[in-house]
Amino acid sequence: MSQTNVKRPPMGGRGPGRGPAPVEKAQDFKGTTKKLAKEYLAKYKVAIAIVLIFAVGSTIFTIVGPKILGNATTEIYNGIVSKLSGGTGIDFSKIATILLTLLGLYVISAIFSFIQGFVMTGVSQKITYRLRNDIVAKINRLPMHYFDKKTHGEVLSIITNDIDTVSQNLNQSITQIITSICTIIGILIMMFSISWTMTLISLFILPITAVIVKIVVGKSQKYFASQQEYLGHVNGQVEEIYGGHTIVKAFNGEEQAIKEFETANDTLYHSAWKSQFLSGLIHPVMNFVGNVGYVAVAILGGYLAIKGRITVGNIQSFIQYNKQFTQPINQIAQVSSMLQSMVAAAERVFIFLEEKEEVKDVKKPVSTEGLKGNVTFEHVQFGYDDDKVIINDFNATVKDGQKIAIVGPTGAGKTTMVKLLMRFYDVTKGAILIDGYNIKDFNRGELRKMFGMVLQDTWLFNGTIKENIKYGNPKATDNEVIEAAKAAHVHHFIKTLPKSYDMVIGEESANISAGQKQLMTIARVILTDPKILILDEATSSIDTRTEQQIQAAMDNLMKGRTSFIIAHRLSTIKNADLILVMDHGDIVEQGTHKELLEKDGFYAKLYNSQFEECEDEIE
């Protein structure tokens, strides 16, 4: 399991160890870059070569521009000089030719950069398309325990933010690196070809700028970091206070909340002010130094022109080059941070894609057809972590059609059994058999088709009621849907809705109660006709009438099927063919209600403490 220690942007909150980093850095820059190049870019070799050629071409044509423009200036200058000395004056036709050539060059350059952009966008979009597909496919192949460790937000952020970063930066950084390097080399050549003394002066300016920028950035970085950190705090606080609005109000916590917020906000203000001011300072300072260099170059150029060593046009083109020179250097600095964050994002994507997957399905899977639903647990041992076994040696035989109640105090690990049955997790030792076949010998998909689950948390998606009921069995006819709804006692309710079965359910439909939603999920399960059922009896937040309906619907559902029930209701427990008593994740007792009471063990105690009082009170 490779835990990522990549620092993420701050999500807020004051949890321990949540230090935001100002600049994201990949842990393995080289490796990730290689991977990105080999696995994703390599496929587009030709396209990238085209991008390269056209980017270089486009830059070259742009670079030549000022030199030619300089020629025009020289021509005008010469013309004026000759006119003053009584000559022919300016040769307009020559200037026109020069300018037309220039125009031609710029047009070609524009076309080149257009082609380059077109191809590059295609490549980067295709790569992100593939990355997205790969990730979504991966999600479905990952074992459940991966998601126990990660929050939804983390996984979502990989799909949305990280992929976005890769896509955008890939597109821009590659072309920008090429053009920037080309421009720098090209400009240097042009500058040296005009005058090496002038070039040396303008080059001398560079390290000065670099040092100044470095000092300012170094200072502002510190404030940037604390700005980021406190932005996280402020956001986290707002989120929390808003989320716990009722509590804040009920406990008169408003003042305290405001005070805490103000402290954080104050720190944020100060660090933001400083970081913004300092980073704002960079530009004017750089401009100033640049201008000083500009003046120096102009003076020297004038001197050289008087000496006749260069032409007037040369000065003009040189100054133009000089101005252009800093731009690609800035660009490279920008691109390098872009590359950094791209590679960091790509790294997270790759780490995700390389997560260990669920054990592949077996080669010769056993068919589930005709199976009845006898379930045998043979010496089952299991732990979420290898060093922490929570189920030690569990044995039980369940005949088809039986009802098995799983009981135990809160947090006893009742859902663990369910997760093992459906192979969300695999047992560490021993085996679970269905009709004599090890569940590892089935394809996961087939195996899960044998199960129907009704959980406390209902899951309905954005679609019509009919689509929701048909989810597990898309081929079902309308009549079958209605029959299922009737068996689930929800048909009448659906009939009262504005569009009945065609009403669209939003994820949080306000007009449908939690209970009705649960009834719909029961209808969904009925329609898939599973052999084995897993039910989680509701404990909360459903009004009693609906609860009765749910009970009746569940009774309908359980007829003739093996059912595992996470039970809270006394009647269910008493009627169960087998009770599994769980405590601290382990199955501590099993048997029928009567047997277990006679045994006078954990179950008897649990039963007495939970129910005796109610009965006493009623008597």
Whole-Å CA distances, 57 to 27, 68, 105, 179, 485: 35, 17, 10, 9, 68
Residue 611 makes contact with other proteins by CB under 8 A: yes
Cβ-based neighbour number of residue 78 at 10 Å = 18
Cβ-based neighbour number of residue 307 at 10 Å = 8
DSSP annotation of 450 reads: T
| Binding pattern for the stretch 182-221 against other proteins, x by CB under 8 A and - elsewhere | ----------------------------------------
Residue 243 makes contact with other proteins by CB under 8 A: yes
The residues pairing with 380 across neighbouring beta strands, listed in sequence order, are 394
Which contiguous run of DSSP H or E holds residue 17? none
Minimum gap (Å) between residue 574 Cβ and other proteins: 9
Please, which residues have CB within 8 angstroms of residue 380's CB and are 6 or more apart in sequence? Answer: 391, 393, 394, 395, 420, 427, 429, 430, 431, 432
Residue 411 makes contact with other proteins by CB under 8 A: yes
Contact 537, 567 (CB under 8 A): yes
Stretch binding other proteins (CB under 8 A), from 184-192, 269-277, 403-411, 474-482: 403-411
Residue 542 makes contact with other proteins by CB under 8 A: yes
Distance, in Å, from the CA atom of 35 to the CA atom of 350, rounded to the nearest integer, reads 8
Would you state the structure tokens that stand for residue 316, as one six-digit string?
């003009």
Give 83 or 605: the residue with its C-beta nearer to other proteins: 605
DSSP annotation of 589 reads: E
Residue 256 makes contact with other proteins by CB under 8 A: yes
Exposure class string for 584-614: b at 16+ Cβ within 10 A, else e: ebbbbbbbbbeebeeeeebbeebbeeeeeee
Distance, in Å, from the CA atom of 127 to the CA atom of 167, rounded to the nearest integer, reads 8
Distance, in Å, from the CA atom of 328 to the CA atom of 182, rounded to the nearest integer, reads 9
Interface with other proteins (CB under 8 A), residue total 44
Stretch binding other proteins (CB under 8 A), from 180-188, 232-240, 343-351, 580-588: 232-240
Residue 610 makes contact with other proteins by CB under 8 A: yes
Q: Give the angle subtended at the CA of 20 by the CAs of 331 and 31, to the nearest 5°.
A: 60
Minimum gap (Å) between residue 381 Cβ and other proteins: 24
Stretch binding other proteins (CB under 8 A), from 22-30, 175-183, 206-214, 545-553: 545-553
Contact 4, 355 (CB under 8 A): no
Stretch binding other proteins (CB under 8 A), from 193-201, 263-271, 353-361, 408-416: 408-416
Residue 390 makes contact with other proteins by CB under 8 A: no
Residue 262 makes contact with other proteins by CB under 8 A: no
Minimum gap (Å) between residue 578 Cβ and other proteins: 20
Minimum gap (Å) between residue 619 Cβ and other proteins: 8
Minimum gap (Å) between residue 410 Cβ and other proteins: 4
Residue 267 makes contact with other proteins by CB under 8 A: no
Q: Which of 20, 24, 27 is nearest to 351 (CA)?
A: 27
Minimum gap (Å) between residue 592 Cβ and other proteins: 17
Minimum gap (Å) between residue 489 Cβ and other proteins: 14
Residue 85 makes contact with other proteins by CB under 8 A: no
**Own/partner pairs, 527-530, CB within 8 angstroms, 24+ separation:** 527/469, 527/470, 527/472, 527/473, 527/476, 527/480, 527/481, 527/484, 528/449, 528/452, 528/472, 528/473, 529/452, 529/473, 530/449, 530/450, 530/451, 530/452, 530/561
Cβ-based neighbour number of residue 203 at 10 Å = 16
Residue from 387, 474, 544, 594 in contact with other proteins (CB under 8 A): 544
Contact 579, 405 (CB under 8 A): yes
Q: How would you list the strands of the sheet with 562-566, edge to edge?
A: 451-454, 532-536, 562-566, 403-407, 578-583, 586-591
381 CB burial (10 A radius; 0-12, 13-18, 19+): middle
Q: What are the phi and psi torsion angles at 131 (to 5°)?
A: -60, -45
Give 238 or 333: the residue with its C-beta nearer to other proteins: 238
Distance, in Å, from the CA atom of 529 to the CA atom of 565, rounded to the nearest integer, reads 17
Residue 615 makes contact with other proteins by CB under 8 A: yes
Q: Which of 160, 177, 175 is nearest to 122 (CA)?
A: 175
Give 266 or 613: the residue with its C-beta nearer to other proteins: 613
Residue from 92, 129, 251, 461 in contact with other proteins (CB under 8 A): 251
Residue 252 makes contact with other proteins by CB under 8 A: yes
Give 193 or 539: the residue with its C-beta nearer to other proteins: 539
Residue 539 makes contact with other proteins by CB under 8 A: yes
Minimum gap (Å) between residue 232 Cβ and other proteins: 11
Stretch binding other proteins (CB under 8 A), from 2-10, 78-86, 239-247, 390-398: 239-247
Give 395 or 539: the residue with its C-beta nearer to other proteins: 539
Stretch binding other proteins (CB under 8 A), from 265-273, 326-334, 537-545, 589-597: 537-545
Q: What's at 369, amino acid-wise? A: E
Minimum gap (Å) between residue 475 Cβ and other proteins: 36
Pairing of strands 391-398, 375-382: antiparallel
Would you state the structure tokens that stand for residue 83, as one six-digit string?
């006119």
Residue 457 makes contact with other proteins by CB under 8 A: no
Residue from 85, 246, 477, 479 in contact with other proteins (CB under 8 A): 246
| Binding pattern for the stretch 11-40 against other proteins, x by CB under 8 A and - elsewhere | -xxxxx------------------------
Residue 614 makes contact with other proteins by CB under 8 A: yes
Output the CA torsion sign for 434, 435, 437, 442: negative
Would you state the structure tokens that stand for residue 566, as one six-digit string?
């996470």
Stretch binding other proteins (CB under 8 A), from 170-178, 294-302, 514-522, 536-544: 536-544
Residue 253 makes contact with other proteins by CB under 8 A: yes
Give 16 or 436: the residue with its C-beta nearer to other proteins: 16
Residue 242 makes contact with other proteins by CB under 8 A: no
Per DSSP, which regions of 485-599 are E strands?
Answer: 504-505, 532-536, 562-566, 578-583, 586-591
Stretch binding other proteins (CB under 8 A), from 51-59, 110-118, 197-205, 534-542: 534-542
Minimum gap (Å) between residue 242 Cβ and other proteins: 12
Residue 570 makes contact with other proteins by CB under 8 A: yes
Give 273 or 611: the residue with its C-beta nearer to other proteins: 611
Minimum gap (Å) between residue 243 Cβ and other proteins: 7
442 CB burial (10 A radius; 0-12, 13-18, 19+): buried
Residue 273 makes contact with other proteins by CB under 8 A: no
Q: By CB under 8 A, name the binding residues for other proteins.
A: 12-16, 236, 239-240, 243-244, 246-247, 249-253, 256, 409-411, 539-545, 547-548, 551, 568-571, 606, 609-611, 613-615, 617-618
